[in-house]
Amino acid sequence: QKEVEQNSGPLSVPEGAIASLNCTYSDRGSQSFFWYRQYSGKSPELIMFIYSNGDKEDGRFTAQLNKASQYVSLLIRDSQPSDSATYLCAAATGNQFYFGTGTSLTVIP
Amino acid sequence: GAVVSQHPSWVICKSGTSVKIECRSLDFQATTMFWYRQFPKQSLMLMATSNEGSKATYEQGVEKDKFLINHASLTLSTLTVTSAHPEDSSFYICSARQGVYQPQHFGDGTRLSIL
């Protein structure tokens, strides 16, 4: 079982819609969780991080964490074509840092 | 804040050459640095993790004698690809982390092409 699992997609949403990206993790000792965006041919960039159960909002992005269900999600409101990228979920457990394989998102104009 | 500088961005060289890639954290001290490799349309593959002043920990299947990692200070790590061959051509990305449970911050990556 992988430490962090994501649906590889591709996920397609129309412009202006809400994109929902999901991630599960296996280690209950994980304490911090991250979402990265990676455009094709570029390196990943940090979008958000979350440590506590509940929601964390930053602009059009909302990260949601449910430790009981070992579930992390990222919502992108008012999706734009520029949001088309691969989204990587990551979890940190002590010195270990685990990435999912990423979900490809396409926002259709 | 949290800027990681990686250079060079591109390297094209002949087979058998050794190539050094530098990774610097510009505005924070990085207790841990990571080196990844990524082939087109594939996931990030962790190669090694290094802590300042310690030997790097390599992932299974990564040849430590071929991919030499030095983490000499809290702001600098280098990856040297020794005697590079065409199969080593890839996108190499470094990242740095300030502490446990902190996010990794990535450099812009180095595209390595071995002819």
Contact B104 A94 (CB under 8 A): no
Q: Does B109 touch chain A (CB under 8 A)?
A: yes
Mean pLDDT of B80-95: 97
Interatomic CA distance for residues B45 and A6, integer angstroms: 16
| Per-residue pLDDT at A8 | 75
CB A63 within 8 A of CB A71: no
Interatomic CA distance for residues A68 and A22, integer angstroms: 15
Count CB-CB contacts under 10 A for residue A88.
Answer: 25
Contacts B59 to A, Cβ<8 Å: none
Residue-wise pLDDT for B50-71, tens only, equals 988 888 999 999 999 999 999 8
Contact B101 A31 (CB under 8 A): yes
Contact A95 B103 (CB under 8 A): no
Whether the per-residue pLDDT at B5 is higher than 90: the answer is yes
Task: For residue B6, give Cα distances in angstroms to A45, B67, B75, B79.
Answer: 14, 16, 12, 11
Distance from CA of B49 to the nearest CA of A (A): 10
Whether the per-residue pLDDT at B90 is higher than 70: the answer is yes
| Per-residue pLDDT at A34 | 97
Whether the per-residue pLDDT at A89 is higher than 70: the answer is yes
Task: For residue A10, give Cα distances in angstroms to A100, A103, B57, B103.
Answer: 15, 7, 33, 26
Distance from CA of A96 to the nearest CA of B (A): 8
Interatomic CA distance for residues B5 and B67, integer angstroms: 20
Q: Please state the length of chain A.
A: 109
Which of A43, A51, A94 has its CB closest to that of B106? Answer: A43
Mean pLDDT of A66-70: 96
Interatomic CA distance for residues B1 and B16, integer angstroms: 38
Q: What is the mean pLDDT of chain B?
A: 94
Q: Does A99 touch chain B (CB under 8 A)?
A: yes
| Per-residue pLDDT at A96 | 84
Q: Name the nearest CA neighbour of A92 among A50, A39, A38.
A: A50
Residue from A5, A43, A88 whose CB has the most chain B CBs within 10 Å, to mutate: A43
Q: Which residues contact B43 (CB under 8 A, 6 or more apart)?
A: A99, A101, A102
Q: B11-31: b or e for each residue (b if 16 or more CB lie within 10 Å)?
A: beeeeeeebebbbbbeebebb
Q: Report the range of poorest mean pLDDT among A34-43, A74-83, A95-104.
A: A95-104
Interatomic CA distance for residues A24 and B46, integer angstroms: 20
- How would residue B13 be classed by pLDDT, with cut points 50, 70 and 90? very high
Mean pLDDT of A7-20: 93
Contact A32 B104 (CB under 8 A): no
| Per-residue pLDDT at A1 | 67
Report DSSP letters for A27-40, one per residue: -TT--EEEEEEE-T
| Per-residue pLDDT at A108 | 97
Q: Does B86 touch chain A (CB under 8 A)?
A: no
Q: Does A2 touch chain B (CB under 8 A)?
A: no
- How would residue A95 be classed by pLDDT, with cut points 50, 70 and 90? confident
CB A69 within 8 A of CB A56: no
> Which A residues in the span 12-71 are in contact with B, Cβ-Cβ below 8 Å?
31-32, 34, 36, 41-46, 49, 51
Q: Report the range of poorest mean pLDDT among A58-62, B31-35, B51-55, B104-108.
A: B51-55
